[in-house]
Amino acid sequence: MRSPRARLGLSVVCLLLGTLCILPLGAQTLPVPGSPVPQPTDSVVPELTEMDIRTSTLLELVQWCRRLGLSEGGTAQELADRLRSYYGIKPTLAAPEPGNPTGPSTEKTGQGTQGTLGSAGTPRTITIESARNSEYFTLKVVNEEYARLTGTVVLTLKEGETVYRLSADEIVYNRTRDSLSATGHVEYTKEGGGTVETFKGESLVIHLDDWSGVFIHGVSERSLTGQETAYRFAGDLISRSADDVTVLKDAVIGNAKTEDQYWSINASKLWLLPGSDWAILNGVLKVGEIPVLYIPFFYLPGDEVIFHPVLGFRSREGTFVQTTTYLLGRPKASSSSESSITKILGSGAETERKQEGLFLRSTGKRIKNPDETSLSVLFDAYTNLGGYLGTKLKIPKKGIVGPTNLEAGLGLTRTVYQIGSNYYSPFTAYSPQSDWNRSKFFLYEIPFRYRIKA
Q: What is the residue-level pLDDT of the chain in tens, covering all 454 positions? A: 445 444 444 454 454 444 444 444 333 333 444 444 444 444 446 777 887 888 777 777 888 888 898 887 777 788 888 898 898 887 544 444 433 433 333 333 344 444 444 444 567 777 888 888 888 888 777 778 888 899 889 988 888 778 889 999 999 988 888 888 999 889 888 887 667 777 888 888 888 777 778 888 777 776 655 566 677 888 888 887 777 788 888 988 887 666 677 888 899 998 887 666 788 999 999 988 899 999 999 887 767 777 778 899 999 999 999 998 888 877 665 444 444 444 444 444 556 667 777 777 766 555 556 677 889 999 999 999 999 999 999 998 888 888 899 999 999 999 999 888 888 999 987 888 899 999 999 889 999 999 999 8
Pairing, β 310-314 against β 304-305: unpaired
Res 364: pLDDT? 57
Do residues 269 and 279 make contact, with C-beta atoms less than 8 angstroms apart?
Answer: no
Global pTM reads: 0.48
Res 1: pLDDT? 47
d(CA 9, CA 269): 81
Res 301: pLDDT? 75
Which residue type does 374 have?
S
Per-residue pLDDT tens digits for 280-295: 999 999 988 899 999 9
Res 350: pLDDT? 55
Question: Cα angle vertex 434, ends 429, 439, to 5°?
Answer: 135
d(CA 104, CA 125): 14
Res 377: pLDDT? 93
Q: What is the CA radius of gyration of the chain?
A: 35
d(CA 166, CA 128): 10
Res 378: pLDDT? 93
d(CA 183, CA 416): 72
Do residues 178 and 208 make contact, with C-beta atoms less than 8 angstroms apart?
Answer: yes
Average pLDDT, the chain: 75
Do residues 366 and 225 make contact, with C-beta atoms less than 8 angstroms apart?
Answer: no
